[in-house]
Amino acid sequence: MSRGHWAGGVWVAMVTPWHRRRGILEEAIDALIERFVAAGVSGLFILGTTGEGTLLSPEERMAFAEAVVARSRGRLPVIVHAGHDIPRLAAELARHARDTGAVAVAVAPPTRYRLEGEELFSHYAYLADAVGDYPLLLYDIPSTTRNPLGGALLARLHDSHANVVGAKVSRSDWEGWRGYLAVAEGLAVFVGNDEMIYPLLLMGAAGLVSGLANLFPSLYVELYSASARGDLPRACEIQRLVWRLCDVCHGASPLAYVKRGLEILGIPVGEPLPPLRDLSQDEIRELERNLREVQRAEAKIMAKGGENWSESFFSKPTTQRR
């Protein structure tokens, strides 16, 4: 199975709008989808780290996936994270995502035990078999799972199970990324580290998945577009603003920076799920000041427009010294 038409572009690692007593905030889901459609994103990645998936029960995760897929149908494709420490439950979540209408499922490895290479291969082979020909992505995020995956594992799984079509890679080490880029051709390798988006897109990543794109989706769409058309100065300028956004939101840790940021920008999505903490009033005031600064900087970038840097650079007339 080759990667699908969905396997590239800008995917928002969407927050989970949730009220501690009422559950799913359906009106917030609708508002977010409208925001993302208007920005031109490629799709939604739900119930991952930004989506607090592991803080919900399997039943709650399924209900949320159903709500998002139903509301985005015909407008945005959805990838559902189905990782769970119990393989049987991961398979159940993956099959549910398939049957609900998601275009693919992503699976982070179990987190309780440090797994060896053969254990990781067996785990993903089991899940690939469990979903038939449905597309499955590895979700490599060793900062939370303590179980790094890698390009060699992806290639081996793709050779044995054609429905293993790529990976969402949230790593900052170039050694790990070299392994993925070496096998990226024909596979859907998504950048999950905001600070490395532009260089990794240049080197062969198919697209990106970002939690901070909840806040400024148009910025990430323009970063991807500028990269795709070879506009080096514009892509570098936007990447630097993304770095600033990472600083403003402390790398989305705690996650409350993203959820409170959305509230500041007009879309209340509820507090972080326990045991994650909320922000203090001082932190919220500082966040608002900083987000407005980023908002003004984004507006200036968008107003300037861009160009095809590679063509304009190499077509410039040369002047000879007399």
Catalytic positions are 139, 168
Whether the Cβ atoms of residue 115 and residue 143 lie closer than 8 Å to each other: no
Residue 114, number of CB atoms within 10 A of its CB: 10
Give the DSSP H or E segment for 105.
strand 104-107
Q: Give Cα separations from 108 to 139, 154, 216 (angstroms).
A: 4, 13, 26
* Measured distance CA(132)–CA(128) in Å, rounded: 7
Q: Sort strands 136-140 and 164-169 into parallel, antiparallel or unpaired.
A: parallel
Place of tokens 């797994």: 115
> What is the DSSP secondary structure assignment for residue 208, as one 8-state letter?
E
Record the tokens describing residue 74, joined without a space: 């015909």
- Cα 320–chain centre separation: 48
What three-state secondary structure class fits 238?
helix
What three-state secondary structure class fits 297?
helix
Q: What letter represents residue 287's amino acid?
A: L
Reference 79, options 53, 110, 112, 116; nearest CA is 53
Reference 194, options 46, 12, 55; nearest CA is 12
Phi, psi of 208 (to 5 degrees): -140, 155
**Which ranges in 229-280 belong to alpha helices (H)?**
232-248, 256-264
* Measured distance CA(123)–CA(97) in Å, rounded: 18
* Measured distance CA(198)–CA(92) in Å, rounded: 36
